[in-house]
Amino acid sequence: MALSTITARVDEHDKADFDLFCSSVGLTSSAAINIYVKTVLREKRIPFEIKQEDPFFEPANQAYILKSVKELREGKGTAHDLIEGSDE
């Protein structure tokens, strides 16, 4: 089987940390990347969840917002003027 090269740009500190980790578990960086590629091809998916956390949608925050909206609709609450912050 012919081999091919994949080139990727990685932060130099991340590469050094990755190399150290791979070495600590008995792998080369190339072997670790090959394991990743083979897993993607076998499973037909990225083998871990990729997501962006948005604290606004956390269940605790949503519960707080719903509680606040309910209180405002019940007439509990105070209207405030918008206070502009300084740039200092």
**Where in the sequence is the domain holding 29, given as residue range(s)?**
12-43
The Cα–Cα gap between 23 and 29 comes to: 8
User: What is the total count of domains within the chain?
Assistant: 1
Examine the pLDDT at 88 and tell me if it is beyond 70: no
Q: Looking at the domain assignment, is residue 5 inside a domain?
A: no
Q: Looking at the domain assignment, is residue 24 inside a domain?
A: yes
Report yes or no: 55 and 61 within 8 Å, Cβ to Cβ.
yes
| Per-residue pLDDT at 28 | 96
Q: What angle do CA 43, 14, 46 make, to 5 degrees?
A: 10
Q: Looking at the domain assignment, is residue 50 inside a domain?
A: no
Q: Looking at the domain assignment, is residue 48 inside a domain?
A: no
Nearest to 33 by CA among 72, 75, 63, 5: 5
Q: Looking at the domain assignment, is residue 77 inside a domain?
A: no
Q: Looking at the domain assignment, is residue 34 inside a domain?
A: yes
| Per-residue pLDDT at 33 | 96
Per residue in 26-61, pLDDT (tens digit) is: 999 999 999 999 999 999 999 998 887 888 888 899
